[in-house]
A and B are shown apart, each in its own frame.
Chain A
Amino acid sequence: GNSVTQMEGPVTLSEEAFLTINCTYTATGYPSLFWYVQYPGEGLQLLLKATKADDKGSNKGFEATYRKETTSFHLEKGSVQVSDSAVYFCALSDHGNNRLAFGKGNQVVVIP
């Protein structure tokens, strides 16, 4: 079945540091890939997505590239801000059934 694996544990870093959150997936077909973000006290929001291999999704300075050869969709940002503190979820959608399969999420804390 479809599954998403995110790196374990929270991520704590200083403002203006480089952020990477790893995400790998297992899917039977050719899924669409997503990063969702949950800011404190708010609902889940779509951050970016990519629908086919080699596509790059980008938004708010965040980027992720759909890598079919490594089944990965790692999230990166070159210079984080305190306002980026949130929980980040990687997810995939199999076109066959459209349900989203989520990773466990990573808490990101950015310290001034």
Chain B
Amino acid sequence: GAGVSQSPSNKVTEKGKDVELRCDPISGHTALYWYRQRLGQGLEFLIYFQGNSAPDKSGLPSDRFSAERTGESVSTLTIQRTQQEDSAVYLCASSLELAGGTQYFGPGTRLLVL
């Protein structure tokens, strides 16, 4: 594919609602990553998927956060019972191989929890 795509580009939700964010990686990329960028901060790692291996979930901030990926395609990040501190830009990236591979980022989903 042309690049990593994400949807929606913007999401406004009320505190307590669930949200689902989608990422389409570059075709053929086996590794997929989710990061969060809060205002004025660097990116925080959330989770990554590599092929059919068990995902590394060690960056997820709470059990309200979960993610799924079907094979080597689309991934969905779900945030349940959203809180105001979840407001951030959620970025997805994919790479061709695992060790030291360059990660290519999508445009992000800007989430605002009111």
Contact = CB atoms under 8 A, between A and B. Distances in A.
B1 to A, nearest CB: 15
Contacts, number: 57
Contacts of B112: none
A42 B89 CA distance: 12
Interface in B17-45: 31, 33, 35, 40-45
B105 A32 contact: no
Given A43-B106, A44-B91, A105-B42, A99 B48 contact: yes
Contacts of B41: 104
Interface residues of A, number: 24
A51 B50 CA distance: 21
A99 B100 contact: no
Interface string A72-112: 00000000000000000101010101111111110000000
A103 B42 contact: yes
B45 A100 contact: yes
B59 A98 contact: no
B44 to A, nearest CB: 8
17 contacts: A42-B107, A43-B106, A43-B108, A44-B105, A44-B108, A89-B42, A91-B43, A97-B56, A98-B31, A98-B95, A99-B59, A100-B33, A100-B43, A100-B93, A102-B43, A102-B44, A104-B41
Interface of A: 4, 32, 34, 36, 42-46, 49, 51, 89, 91, 93, 95, 97-105
Interface of B: 31, 33, 35, 40-45, 48, 50, 56, 59, 91, 93, 95, 98-108
